[in-house]
Structures are given as structure tokens and as C-alpha cells.
């Protein structure tokens, strides 16, 4: 099961290049990108996505490889629709990273947005390649966030627990990290999922057919083997939820509740509503994402339920799809 309908919601592997193989990276520093930036297929077409290898290599080029002593390297993962990606999605990742880095026990070495497959059958999801592209444009200037197209490269929708374990934990198992003055070691990275309070509450839900909404085994994989960072919305108290269900109570230590630094109620649903009303979404989405929406006329797609043309406030501005290299 994916968390798209509950949570409010790296690119594919780049070519190996000399710049990413340098040694002696200092503490807290990431592996740099190639000087040429992303490959020419940074923006995917539908055909390119459909022909993508289902076993595509995870892009680890932004991961920090040296961290402070006595800390656990963490990779944050946000799974969702991202239709479209908003500043809220990105701020949640920043808030989670700040919280973990300040507790002195963890050190976030990277983060990934993982757009869900079309066969999750959420009606408001535009085509997969568009959602991947918007996410890539949204994080292109981030020194630590990437987009992983693996879910969309599969033949069908993949359960959340499977994505965390069989994709991210497996792909990161052989990534070596220096902890303090210790020699590089593999198998140290902990994958933690970002979620909202609604997702935690859903663990106890029973469907109309009497079956649990979440398979018990999946709950164990998510909570026991990985853990979650739950972003608490203003006016809500998630802590009592942890005592209402055995699996949550047993894994309470793996549920980290984070108060956002700035209250943020931006949602993809609200963005789609504003677009349908012909109102501005400036400063709610990254500018390259807004340009992408206009260029590919996503506001006119059936998934977003509007046929009104030329409703973005940037329509008189030139579209800039320059992908800047990381330095």
C-alpha cells in the first residue's frame, strides 16, 4: 500500500564520472555531480520511462559519505503522488532532516522523493513521467534531495513496505560511509519514511470486507525495520495514537514526531483548485515546476479537471528549463 491518499503526499543514476570518485571528502560534504550536470534525459518522455530498466540503479551522487562520530547515517524517503510537487513536500523533508541532525544520534546523508505508479489509480495523478519531471525540477537546486523513478519503472504499483525494503534498503546496502574517524563501512544506512498523522492512524483501519487496510507484515517492515518521521500538523496531537494500536505501541521508539518550523498548509489538492480557478500559484511551487505545468498544459488534463487555457500568472514570461549543474 502506498501513502498518497493519506500523507498529502533522484533521478535515475547518472553516468559515472571522475568527479564522483574523488577521495577525502570532509565531514558533512556530499559527493559532487559531474561538471556537465544532468544527462540529456533529465526530463523524461513517456517513451523513455516505459523503456526504463526496472532495475535502474539508485542515484547516490548527492549522498554525504562522511558523518560525525557516534551517529547513524539516515536516508529519508517520501512516497507520494506529487501531482504536483509543492513547497510543502520539500519543506517536510527539510524539517525532518533538521530534527534528526540536531538530536546528535542521527545524521541525514540524503533524501529521495519516490512518485507512485499510475496503477495506484489515483484519479488526480497526471502521467508518471510528468510527475517525475516536476519532482526533478523541484529539487534540482537541492544539495541533498533526489528523485527516484524506480516505482514508476515497474510494471505495476508497489506496496510501501516493499519500496522501503526492496528498493531503498537494498540499493543502499553497499554504500560505504565514514563515521567519524572509522574506516568506510557498508550496511550502516537506515532508511526512514516521512509521513503524516493520517497514515499512522490508518494502521488500525479495517476495510469493509473485514480485512485490515495494511497487512500486518507490512506494518512491521515499516515501523520495526525502518521507522517513520511523522510531521505533526498544527492543532493535532499524534502521541496518543501511538498507544491505540499494538504495532505502534511496540515500535514507539521508531516513530519520531516533528513539529514543522513554519506552519505550512500547501497541498497538491489546493494547488489544483487554484489552477482550476485561474488563480496564481506563484511562491507555492518552485518556478521551474510552474513553467513545466504551463509548457505541457497539465492544467487542461482530465486528471486535474479543468479545461481553462492560459490561467497561470507566468503565461507572459519566457519558459526557462535550464538545468543547472551541481557544484
The residue with greater pLDDT, 23 or 29, is 29
DSSP string across 91-141: HHHHHHHHHHHHTSSEEEEEEEEEEPPGGG--TT---HHHHHHHHHHHHTT
Q: Which residue has the higher pLDDT, 111 or 35?
A: 111
pLDDT value at position 203?
82
User: Confidence band (pLDDT; 50, 70, 90) for 228?
Assistant: very high
Q: How confident is the model at residue 325 (pLDDT cuts 50, 70, 90)?
A: very low
CA distances from 76 to 12, 230, 239, 242, 253 (A): 17, 12, 21, 21, 17
Is pLDDT of 317 > 50? no
Q: What is the pLDDT, as a whole number, of residue 38?
A: 35
Q: How confident is the model at residue 322 (pLDDT cuts 50, 70, 90)?
A: low
Residue-level pLDDT at 65: 96
Work out the average pLDDT over 47-64. 96
244 Cβ neighbours under 8 A, 6+ residues apart: 204
| 87-123 residue pLDDT tens | 999 999 999 999 999 998 999 999 999 999 999 999 9
Name the percent of the chain lying above pLDDT 70.
80
Q: What is the mean pLDDT of residues 237-264?
A: 88
Question: Which of 286, 5, 299 shows the shortest CA–CA distance to 147?
Answer: 286
Note whether 242 and 249 are within 8 A (CB): yes
Listed range (10-14, 268-272, 302-306) with the worst mean pLDDT = 10-14
Q: Is the pLDDT of residue 288 over 50?
A: yes
Give 263 or 32, the one with higher predicted confidence: 263
Per-residue pLDDT for 10 more than 50? no
> Is the predicted pLDDT of residue 237 greater than 50, yes or no?
yes
| String of DSSP letters for 206-228 | B-TTS-BSS-HHHHHIIIIII-E
| pLDDT score of 312 more than 50 | no
Per-residue model confidence (pLDDT) at position 189: 98
279, pLDDT greater than 90: yes
pLDDT surpassing 60 at residue 20:
no
The answer to whether the beta carbons of residues 152 and 118 sit under 8 Å apart is yes
What is the chain's Cα-based Rg? 20
* Least confident range of 140-149, 209-218, 238-247, 293-302: 238-247
**pLDDT score of 201 more than 90:** no
pLDDT surpasses 70 at 12: no
Task: State the pLDDT at residue 199.
Answer: 81
The answer, yes or no, to whether residue 59 has pLDDT greater than 50, is yes
How would you label 119-145 residue by residue, b for 16+ Cβ within 10 Å and e otherwise? ebebebbbbbbbbbbbbbbbbbebebb
So what's the pLDDT on residue 306?
A: 58
Q: Which residue has the cell 565514514?
A: 178
Q: Is 190 helix (H, G, I), strand (E, B) or coil?
A: strand
pLDDT over 90 (residue 148): yes
Amino acid at each position: 500500500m502506498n501513502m498518497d491518499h493519506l500523507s498529502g503526499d533522484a533521478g535515475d543514476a547518472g553516468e559515472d564520472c571522475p568527479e564522483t570518485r574523488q577521495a577525502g571528502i570532509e565531514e558533512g560534504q556530499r559527493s559532487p555531480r559531474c561538471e556537465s550536470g544532468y544527462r540529456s534525459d533529465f526530463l523524461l518522455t513517456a517513451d523513455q520511462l516505459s523503456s526504463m530498466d526496472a532495475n535502474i540503479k539508485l542515484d547516490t551522487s548527492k549522498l554525504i559519505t562522511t558523518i560525525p562520530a557516534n551517529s547513524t547515517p539516515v536516508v529519508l524517503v517520501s512516497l507520494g503522488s506529487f501531482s504536483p510537487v509543492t513547497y510543502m513536500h520539500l519543506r517536510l523533508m527539510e524539517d525532518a532532516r533538521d530534527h534528526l541532525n540536531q538530536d546528535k544520534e542521527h545524521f541525514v546523508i540524503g533524501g529521495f522523493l519516490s512518485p507512485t505508479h499510475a496503477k495506484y489509480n489515483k484519479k488526480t495523478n497526471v502521467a508518471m513521467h510528468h510527475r517525475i519531471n516536476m519532482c526533478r525540477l523541484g529539487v534540482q537546486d537541492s544539495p541533498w534531495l533526489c528523485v527516484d523513478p524506480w516505482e514508476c519503472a515497474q510494471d505495476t504499483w508497489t506496496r510501501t513496505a516493499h519500496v522501503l525494503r526492496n528498493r531503498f534498503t537494498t540499493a543502499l546496502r553497499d554504500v560505504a560511509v565514514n563515521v567519524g574517524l572509522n574506516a568506510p563501512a557498508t550496511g550502516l544506512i537506515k532508511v526512514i519514511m516521512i509521513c503524516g498523522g493520517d497514515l499512522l492512524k490508518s494502521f488500525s483501519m479495517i476495510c469493509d470486507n473485514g480485512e485490515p487496510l495494511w497487512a500486518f507484515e507490512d506494518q512491521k517492515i515499516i515501523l520495526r525495520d525502518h521507522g517513520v518521521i511523522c510531521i505533526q500538523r498544527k492543532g493535532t496531537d499524534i502521541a496518543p495514537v501511538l498507544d491505540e494500536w499494538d504495532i505502534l505501541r511496540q515500535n514507539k521508539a521508531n516513530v519520531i514526531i516533528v513539529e514543522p518550523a513554519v506552519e505550512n498548509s500547501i497541498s497538491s489538492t489546493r494547488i489544483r483548485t487554484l489552477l482550476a480557478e485561474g488563480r496564481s500559484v506563484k511562491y507555492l511551487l518552485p518556478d521551474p515546476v510552474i513553467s513545466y505545468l504551463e509548457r505541457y498544459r497539465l492544467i487542461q488534463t482530465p486528471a486535474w479537471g479543468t479545461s481553462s487555457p492560459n490561467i497561470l500568472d507566468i503565461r507572459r514570461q519566457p519558459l526557462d528549463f535550464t538545468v543547472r549543474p551541481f557544484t
